[in-house]
């Protein structure tokens, strides 16, 4: 039986003799089926044509990204703590070199993922390091491949360690999750995925229901995301994509950006 990967979003599917007819994640309006149609590959084929690159963002935080770009082209983040390493979000490629590097860095104590667009090959990462995968239960319908490593959580926060808490922000997906880390300097770091999206200027964030189809959230939904983040102090934000890094004033930027977004939706047209 072959595990198939969707070429548009990178999601892996339960083993089968033939590729699925459709990818439910791409068929949803928050993603898209390419105009050329649904296409598929396998982990083995992907490993022959792609590799993973590594970049240190700050002490104890590293980005892992596949080159050439594959599917949505998000990065995974490896967070190192005294309580064990956590993989934040996921990518489809886990080759022998990646396994060796992660193992040398101490393996994985946990995997946590912001939302279904980044579930990708989480099952293979979890199996390689015998690590639990923490997903918010509100998004369980989007799990396309079973795994005994999956742990569904509920409520609005889940404490993973003394320095790491998963925070449900909602918005982009009902279970949309962000990771709060106290950080090496104690000033706080937010690993945001694209539940909040860091803009090119790195001094604003935005909030969307669908990024590729440019469908907004409502003012009430944006206010709810901002409210859920308000109790968690953070100075820096790391988003889902390369160069989406806010180095200072992160909490203020989120609050200010939410106010601006809500004002544009609620105010008179200019």
Domains and CATH numbers, the chain: 2-266 (3.60.15.10)
| Beta pairing partners, 197 | 206
> So what's the pLDDT on residue 70?
98
Residues 6+ apart with CB under 8 A from 229: 167, 169, 178, 190, 196, 251, 254
User: Which value, to the nearest 10 degrees, does the dihedral of the CA atoms of residues 210, 213, 219, 223 take?
Assistant: 30
Residue 60: the pLDDT is 97
Query: Which residues in the chain come in under a pLDDT of 70?
Result: 268-270
> pTM for this structure?
0.96
- What is residue 40's predicted lDDT score, i.e. its pLDDT? 98
Pairing type for strands 215-216 and 110-112 reads unpaired
Per residue in 74-130, pLDDT (tens digit) is 999 999 999 999 999 999 999 999 999 999 999 999 999 999 999 999 999 999 999
* Per-residue model confidence (pLDDT) at position 247: 95
Could you tell me if 237 and 198 are in contact, meaning their C-beta atoms sit under 8 angstroms apart?
Answer: yes
Question: Measured between alpha carbons, how far is 250 from 202 in angstroms, rounded to an integer?
Answer: 9
Q: What DSSP character marks residue 170?
A: -
What pLDDT is stored for residue 268 in this prediction?
67
Q: What is the pLDDT of residue 267?
A: 75
pLDDT given for residue 183 in this prediction:
83
Check residue 181 and give its pLDDT. Answer: 98
Nearest-5° Cα angle at 217, 13 to 232 = 85
Report the mean per-residue pLDDT for the chain: 96
Distance CA 240, CA 263 (A): 26
């Amino acid at each position: 039986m072959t595990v198939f990967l969707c070429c548009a979003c990178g999601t892996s599917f339960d083993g089968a003799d033939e590729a699925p007819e459709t990818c439910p994640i791409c068929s949803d309006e928050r993603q898209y089926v390419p105009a050329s149609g649904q296409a598929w590959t396998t982990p083995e084929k992907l490993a022959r044509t792609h590799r993973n690159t590594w970049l240190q963002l700050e002490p104890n935080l590293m980005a892992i990204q596949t080159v050439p770009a594959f599917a949505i082209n998000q990065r995974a983040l490896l967070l190192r703590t005294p309580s064990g390493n956590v993989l934040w979000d996921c990518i489809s490629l886990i080759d022998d070199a990646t396994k060796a590097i992660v193992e040398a860095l101490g393996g994985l104590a946990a995997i946590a993922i912001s939302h279904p667009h980044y579930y990708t090959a989480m099952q293979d990462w979890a199996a390689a390091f015998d690590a639990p995968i923490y997903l918010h239960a509100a998004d369980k319908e989007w799990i396309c491949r079973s795994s005994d490593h999956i742990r569904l959580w509920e409520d609005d926060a889940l404490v993973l360690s003394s320095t790491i808490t998963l925070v449900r922000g909602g918005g982009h997906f009902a279970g949309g999750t962000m990771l709060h880390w106290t950080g090496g300097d104690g000033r706080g770091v937010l690993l945001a995925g694209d539940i909040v999206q860091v803009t090119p200027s790195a001094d604003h964030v935005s909030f969307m229901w669908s990024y590729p189809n440019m469908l907004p959230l409502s003012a009430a939904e944006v206010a709810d995301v901002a409210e859920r983040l308000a109790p968690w102090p953070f100075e820096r934000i790391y988003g889902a994509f390369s160069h989406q890094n806010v180095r200072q004033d992160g909490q203020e930027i989120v609050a200010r950006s939410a106010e601006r977004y809500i004002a544009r939706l609620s105010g008179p047209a200019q």
